Amino acid sequence: MNRILFVVLIFALGSLGACKNNSKIKLSKKSSLEQLNAAIEASPNQIDLLEKRAKYYMSKKNYDRAAQDYQSAIKLAPDSVNYYIQIANLFMQSGKIKNAIGILKRVIKIKPDYPDAYLKLGEISLFLRKYQDVFNYANKALEVDPYSDKAYFLKAYAYKENADTNKAIDSFQKCLRNNSNNYEANVELGILFMNLKNKLAVTYFNNAIALDSTKLDAYYDLGLYYQNNDQLNKALATYKNIENIAPDFPNSYYNIGYIYLQLLNIPDKSIPYFTKAIIASPNYYQAYYNRGLAYERLGDVFNAKSDYKEALKLHSNYEKAIEGLNRVEKPL
């Protein structure tokens, strides 16, 4: 599945089922489990305390205990469908997909006009690659809420997975018409237009950057667009911006090095960036190879040989490094 589904759906659907907290009982952020247990023992029918403890267990990845607290909350408020959604989330996080589906279908029986249940079922269907189910559940959500950007996002991603670019673009754009602040939809449209070599990609990547300048994927994809369309100065500037956001991200350093070495033929400028890529990712065998190639072009046989050997330690069948090592070891 393209662009790891977990990342995409955390943005698009992660807020589903968020429960409102109206409790007048406030616990310190440093409250221990013991304090929560004592408070619940003193007030066993206080739903908000059960929710606090469930969230505590979730933070510790103790999903079974969290589910127990949400189930206790449901007994006290059986019509509170948000708690069912939270249990469905817990089942999904623990890999119990069938259980999650069962809970969500119960929600629909309780409250058939609750769009979040359809959206969550659509998310699960996307994960399972049951694309017709994705469309069905997304359309059900739209019947309840015609302005749901998340429903259009689900449909768009399913179309993208099926390589139906035109429909994917149309649905992502409908998503943005309902919510122009959807960061991930802007990035996805940028990628789709980048693959079409359409300059609208720049607009969507810049939209995403304006929405959240702390995330690196829009910057990186924008750099790729410029690189692949021979706008190398813009590509270099964009990749260099990433250093301020994610100084340990190796790919931007590698791409800068690649541009200097392979596209601008300035091998001495490429070496520091390949070195930064290696420091950020010590197993980056392509960076070792390209740094070796830069040294070879500069006539530094000793360092070229060393880097080619290092690349082969990490990837013994790497043909380019084998060829490079053969060149520098060839008798004059």
The string of pLDDT tens digits covering residues 272-287 is: 999 999 999 999 999 9
Render pLDDT for 27-81 as a digit per residue (tens, 0 to 9): 444 457 888 888 888 888 888 888 888 888 888 888 888 888 888 888 888 777 8
Which ranges of the chain does DSSP label H, i.e. alpha helix? 5-13, 33-42, 47-59, 63-76, 81-93, 97-110, 115-127, 131-144, 149-161, 165-178, 183-195, 200-211, 217-228, 232-245, 250-258, 267-280, 285-297, 301-314, 319-329
With a CB cutoff of 8 Å and minimum separation 6, the contacts of 94 are 63, 64
Tens-digit pLDDT profile for residues 123-149 = 999 999 999 999 999 999 999 999 999
Q: State percent of the chain over pLDDT 70.
A: 90
- The secondary structure of residue 259, as a DSSP letter, is I
Lowest mean pLDDT, pick from 58-62, 204-208, 236-240, 312-316 = 58-62
Note whether residue 309 is domain-resident. yes
pLDDT digits (tens, 9 = 90+) for 153-167: 999 999 999 999 999
The predicted structure's pLDDT at residue 58: 81
pLDDT in the model for residue 332: 57
C-alpha pair distances (Å), 133 with each of 17, 143, 307, 318: 21, 15, 51, 43
> Quick one: pLDDT at residue 278?
98
Residue 14 has a pLDDT of: 46
Cβ contacts of 246 within 8 Å, gap of 6 or more: 216, 252
For residue 20, being part of any structural domain is answered with no
Query: Is 168 part of any domain?
Result: no
How far apart are the C-alpha atoms of 18 and 123, rounded to whole Å? 16
Q: Average per-residue pLDDT in the chain?
A: 89
pLDDT mean over 204-217: 96
pLDDT value for 302: 96
Per-residue pLDDT band at 1 (split at 50, 70, 90):
very low
For 296, the domain range is 248-332
Q: Which among 165, 201, 175, 140 is positioned nearest to 12, based on CA atoms?
A: 175
- Calculate the CA dihedral of residues 216, 218, 220, 223 and round it to 10 degrees: -140
For 241, other C-beta atoms within 10 Å of its C-beta total 17
Contact criterion met (CB below 8 Å) for 72 and 46: no
Tell whether the model's pLDDT for residue 15 goes beyond 50.
no
pLDDT at 31: 54
In order of 16, 28, 130, the CA distances from 162 in angstroms are 25, 48, 11
CA angle 235, 236, 237 (to 5 degrees): 90
Number of domains in the chain: 1
Q: What distance in Å separates the CA atoms of residue 1 and residue 97, rounded to the nearest whole number?
A: 18
Provide mean pLDDT across the span 244-258.
96
Write down the pLDDT at residue 40: 81
- pLDDT value of residue 53: 85
Residue whose entry in the numeric block shows the structure tokens 């359309």: 139
In the prediction, which pLDDT does 331 show?
67
Please report whether residue 146 resides in a domain.
no
| Residue 314 falls inside a structural domain | yes
Residue 317's domain is classified under what CATH number? 1.25.40.10
Q: Is residue 289 domain-resident? A: yes
Q: How far is CA 302 from CA 194, 325, 328, 332, in A?
A: 40, 11, 9, 15
Question: Is 269 inside any structural domain?
Answer: yes
Max CA distance (Å), the chain: 86
**Does residue 9 register a pLDDT over 70?**
no
- Report whether pLDDT(26) > 90: no
Per-residue pLDDT reduced to its tens digit, 288-311: 999 999 999 999 999 999 999 999
Q: How far is 218 from 285, CA to CA, in rounded Å?
A: 25
Residue 52 domain-assigned (yes or no): no
Amino acid 23: pLDDT: 41
CA distance 200 to 189: 9
